[in-house]
Amino acid sequence: MNTVWADRSGVHDDLTTVEDLTTWLTGDSATDVATTTAADLAAFRTLRQALRDLAATLTEDTRAIAADRDRDRAVEAVNAAVRQAVVWPQLDVEDGELRRRTTADAPPATRALAATAAEAVDLFTGPDRVLLRACYAPGCVLYFVKDHPRREWCSPACGNRVRAARHYRRSRTDG
């Protein structure tokens, strides 16, 4: 969800090219580049929008970026993604011993898509769902899990920006 983010210069998108997706999936662009496709990118972008829509619904997000959410479309998109990679155990014989091997009929990017969607199902229905928050620091577009009772912002940087803005408003009023 947070591959869309903002700073002083505006909103940024970390998943705009196939290379971006490869980097996001593997942590570096050297691995598996050939197996990640434009279709994977489109699928991940669709899933991301669905997850953001669901997070917006759960947090009753009032930020402009969350205005066009569609819960039913999002539910459909998550379910479609989860179904993409069915994994099953298989038996192998190795040095005369039976071994367990996991097989999936999908390429790595599709398996990652399905795994991400499955994690989202757990997040949006599990105990953390009531801790999900939209960050209301000026300009921020992120969601976070409020893992500490006093946590109000997605990051220390957002907290600092909010404090600086308050200080600026106060000093302007005083002056």
**In whole angstroms, how close is the CB of 116 to Zn ion at the nearest point?**
21
CB nearer to Zn ion: pick between 34 and 67: 67
Residues 74, 116, 158, 161: which binds Zn ion (CB under 5 A)?
158
CB nearer to Zn ion: pick between 64 and 98: 64
Q: Does residue 132 touch Zn ion according to CB under 5 A?
A: no
Residues 137, 143, 166, 174: which binds Zn ion (CB under 5 A)?
137
The number of helix segments (H) and strand segments (E) in the chain equals: 5, 6
Q: How far is CA 171 from CA 30, 141, 161, 166, in A?
A: 50, 27, 15, 9
Round to whole Å and give the CA distance between 39 and 21: 11
Q: Does residue 114 touch Zn ion according to CB under 5 A?
A: no
CB nearer to Zn ion: pick between 54 and 135: 135
Round to whole Å and give the CA distance between 74 and 76: 5
**In whole angstroms, how close is the CB of 48 to Zn ion at the nearest point?**
17
Round to whole Å and give the CA distance between 161 and 138: 8
Q: Does residue 4 touch Zn ion according to CB under 5 A?
A: no
Q: Does residue 123 touch Zn ion according to CB under 5 A?
A: no
Q: Is residue 92 within 8 Å of residue 168, measured between CB atoms?
A: no
Q: Helix 108-125 to helix 18-26 angle, to the nearest 10 degrees? A: 70
DSSP structure class, residue 89: E
Q: Does residue 41 touch Zn ion according to CB under 5 A?
A: no
Residues 74, 78, 112, 135: which binds Zn ion (CB under 5 A)?
135
Interacting residues with Zn ion (CB under 5 A): 135, 137, 140, 142, 154, 158
